[in-house]
Amino acid sequence: MDSLKFACTWKSSIQGANVLVKIGGLQLEGCTFDGSQLLENQRDYPSVSAIPPCLVSWIPKDSPDPYGLEETISLAIYYSSTRDRIVTRLDVPCGGNVDQWLQTGAALFLKNE
């Protein structure tokens, strides 16, 4: 495990991955996600929305990350929208403005309560 790192993408594959797992059904609060980057919620958008499924894998540490570090924000995945139990984190492409998404309180949930 010391020679591996966790990778996540909304692209078609992850370089260096032997096994890919598709994760779907995640809910996003604080902004929206179009599959390529986070976007500001518009006035008529719901506060919580589903995001497209992503691919995750453990890859060798020397494999390139799916996105540049400046392009992503590490968002917490909570068990529910009450945000009382964190499950893990995913690096989500954000277009480079991490502070903007921190201010919106962006977070992912397994289920919306």
Which residue in 108, 39, 38, 106 sits closest to 77, CA to CA? 108
Give the structural domain span for 53: 4-111
**Residues 36-64: tens digit of each pLDDT:** 999 999 888 888 999 999 999 999 999 99
pLDDT of residue 69: 86
What digits encode the pLDDT tens for the residues 88-105?
Answer: 999 999 988 899 999 999
DSSP characters over 30-66: SSEE-SSSEEPPPTTS-SEEE---EEEEEEETTSPPS
Which pLDDT belongs to residue 113? 63
Q: For the chain, how many structural domains are there in total?
A: 1
pTM: 0.88
Coil, helix or strand for 71? helix
| All residues at 6 or more sequence positions from 46 whose CB lies less than 8 Å from its CB, including other chains | none
- Report the alpha-carbon distance of residue 108 to residue 79 in Å, rounded: 9
Residue 8 belongs to domain with CATH number: 3.10.490.20
